[in-house]
Structure 1
Amino acid sequence: MKHGRQIVSSGSPLEPQIGFSRAVRVGGYVAVAGTAPIGDDGSTVAPGSVYGQTVRCLDIAERALQEAGASVEDVVRTRIMLTDVTQWKEAARAHGERFAAVRPVCTFVEVSRFIEADWLVEVEVDAVLDADSH
């Protein structure tokens, strides 16, 4: 970690081009960037399914948390961005399956669209580690 800053990369070629990281950890705070439902092959996972795409976003975010030394149990805030907020219950079902025991603060918001037209949801996650964890 340079100056107490750990950067987690997803390996996306867009990271250096845009100048962002999948996640950044500073001390006990971890922020995971807006995470889209992208498969390992670069394609959109679960086309047409808000639930399936939300699960994929949460899987990617959880992997980034782990690389930063955090876990789902450390999550204090999530943001769920949807292109159709009337579908919030499908995203909420995936969120509830992952965070029922943790119960972070959560915001659902509608956006006009994402970079790829078939992405229906993106997720952001913030975590705080216990003082003993860093």
Structure 2
Amino acid sequence: MDEGLEEIGTPYAPRALGAYSQAVRANGFVFVSGQLGIDPETGDLVEGTAGDQAAQALKNIKSILDAAGTGMEKVVKATVYMRNVEDFTEVDKAYSQVFIGSVRPARVAFGNNMIPKGALVEIDVIALA
């Protein structure tokens, strides 16, 4: 049933908070589960703003993609969840510092007041493997 699927994981990103993988490789893509602004060394949310948490979430995503043998430049789609949509500009600033190529990923961003652990931001991505 799991033919063609490969679980991707790394100790350089937070462990999954539930019954899911950090990422899965399938059909030439890597699907990265939603990442919070958690410091993988402490297991705690980074202190600061939504932008600070977004920056850490993106670092976690980079670590997972590195473990999969791909990278941020291969991200084709991102979904950004924010506890408060008024944080969009700040989150977008952190996002824009990571995705700087001429072709940036497709993206959707919206409010979600049910992000785990009281986090301000959660980001998931799909990348080419």
* Contact 2:34-2:122 within 8 A present in 1 as well: yes
What is the distance in 2 between the residues matched to 1:53 and 1:71? 20
Tell me the alpha carbon deviations over residues 34-93 of structure 1, each in whole angstroms, 9 at most, x when there is no partner. 10111121111133x111100000000111111111111110001110000011011101
What is the distance in 1 between the residues matched to 2:36 and 2:7? 18
Q: Tell me by how many angstroms 1:13 deviates.
A: 6.5
- Other structure's SS at 1:31 match: strand
* AA of the residue aligned to 2:47: A
Does residue 113 (structure 1) correspond to residue 129 (structure 2)? The answer is no
- Other structure's SS at 1:116 match: helix
Corresponding residue of 1:61: 61
Say what the alpha-carbon RMSD is for the aligned residues.
Answer: 1.6
Q: Which runs of 4+ in 1 moved over 6 A?
A: none
Q: Tell me by how many angstroms 1:124 deviates.
A: 0.4
The structure that has the greater radius of gyration is 1
Does residue 7 (structure 1) correspond to residue 10 (structure 2)? The answer is no
Structure 1 window deviating more from structure 2 (58-67 vs 4-13): it is 4-13
Number of corresponding residues = 123
What is the distance in 2 between the residues matched to 1:13 and 1:22? 6
Gapped runs of 5+ residues in structure 1?
130-134
* Contact 1:6-1:68 within 8 A present in 2 as well: no
Q: Tell me by how many angstroms 1:3 deviates.
A: 3.0
Does residue 89 (structure 1) correspond to residue 89 (structure 2)? The answer is yes
Gapped runs of 5+ residues in structure 2?
none
Q: Tell me by how many angstroms 1:121 deviates.
A: 0.2
Q: Tell me by how many angstroms 1:10 deviates.
A: 4.6
Corresponding residue of 2:124: 124
* Contact 1:4-1:27 within 8 A present in 2 as well: yes
What is the distance in 2 between the residues matched to 1:112 and 1:10? 28
Corresponding residue of 1:38: 38
What is the distance in 2 between the residues matched to 1:10 and 1:20? 14
